[in-house]
C-alpha cells in the first residue's frame, strides 16, 4: 500500500471533524442509555483509515477506537435502518 501524504491525511482528518463533532456525546444503537464522548481522531497506520477515538461515560470510562466509516454508518435493526451512533443533545 502506498502511503498517503501528510497533507492528504490531514485533509481526511478534517473531513472526519465535519462528520463527527469532537467533544460531542453520542449513543450507540444497542445501548442508547449509555453515552460516549468523542475525544479525537487518528489515522490507523496499517490501512490509513480515519478512526474516531471515543470514551465511555459510564463505568471505568474506557477509550475505544472505531473507523470513521463504521462510526457514521447505518445498521439494520428489525428491518429499519438506524445510525450506529446518534449524537446526543
pLDDT tens for the chain, 89 residues: list them. 688 999 999 999 999 999 999 999 999 999 999 999 999 999 999 999 999 999 999 998 899 999 999 999 999 999 999 999 999 99
Domains and CATH numbers, the chain: 6-87 (2.30.30.320)
- pTM for the whole structure: 0.91
Residue 61's pLDDT is 87
Residue 48's pLDDT is 95
Query: Which residues sit opposite 37 in a β-bridge?
Result: 25, 55
Residues contacting 72, CB < 8 A, separation 6+: 19, 20, 83, 84, 85
Nearest residue to 41 (alpha-carbon basis) of 65, 63, 61, 57: 65
Residue 33's pLDDT is 95
**DSSP per position, 6-41:** HHHHHHHHHHHHHHS-TT-EEEETTEEEEEEEEEEE
Residue 3's pLDDT is 85
Amino acid at each position: 500500500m502506498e502511503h498517503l501524504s501528510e497533507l492528504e491525511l490531514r485533509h481526511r482528518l478534517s473531513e472526519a471533524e465535519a462528520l463527527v463533532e469532537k467533544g460531542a456525546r453520542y449513543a450507540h444503537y444497542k445501548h442508547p442509555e449509555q453515552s460516549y464522548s468523542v475525544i479525537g481522531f487518528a489515522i490507523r497506520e496499517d490501512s490509513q483509515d480515519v478512526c474516531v477515538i471515543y470514551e465511555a461515560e459510564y463505568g471505568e470510562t474506557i477509550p475505544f477506537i472505531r473507523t470513521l466509516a463504521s462510526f457514521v454508518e447505518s445498521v439494520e435493526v428489525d428491518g429499519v435502518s438506524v445510525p450506529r451512533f446518534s449524537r446526543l443533545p
